Amino acid sequence: SQTIHQWPATLVQPVGSPLSLECTVEGTSNPNLYWYRQAAGRGLQLLFYSVGIGQISSEVPQNLSASRPQDRQFILSSKKLLLSDSGFYLCASSREGGTEAFFGQGTRLTVV
């Protein structure tokens, strides 16, 4: 089965600072990878998904970007954080072809 490693678990960053969140996947190859954001008490908002190395699709225009430099590595970045970027960020993976998704532990980001 897949294991998704996501770090850090919590992060407090000042407004205007850069961001880099990393996600790595074990137990499968060529997975579909996802970044979601969840505001407090809200549903999952899909930010980015990737079906292969270097292939990134953005769902919502925003202050964030994503990259997939390796098959099982997915990175979420920002050059300058905004207060509105605060939230719970989740990386997810599903097998090639798309079935159920498995989630990492999440990163709780607070921008101050």
Partner 1 sequence: QKEVEQNSGPLSVPEGAIASLNCTYSDRGSQSFFWYRQYSGKSPELIMSIYSNGDKEDGRFTAQLNKASQYVSLLIRDSQPSDSATYLCAVNMGQTGANNLFFGTGTRLTVIP
Interface with partner 1 (CB under 8 A)? 34, 42-44, 46, 49, 51, 57, 59, 90, 94, 97-106, 108
Nearer to partner 1, 12 or 15 (CB): 12
- Least distance to partner 1, CB of residue 46, Å: 7
Q: Toward partner 1, which CB reaches closer, 69 or 100?
A: 100
List the one residue out of 101, 102, 108 whose CA is nearest residue 37. 108
Contact 81, 18 (CB under 8 A): yes
Query: What is the C-alpha to C-alpha distance for residues 80 and 71, in angstroms, rounded to an integer?
Result: 27
Q: How far is the CB of 104 from partner 1 (least distance, A)?
A: 6
Shortest Cβ 25–partner 1 spacing (Å) = 14
59: left (phi over 0), alpha (psi -120 to 50) or beta: alpha
Q: Which is nearer to partner 1, 17 or 30 (CB)?
A: 30
Angle (nearest 5°) at CA 7 between 81 and 109? 35
Q: Which is nearer to partner 1, 10 or 17 (CB)?
A: 10
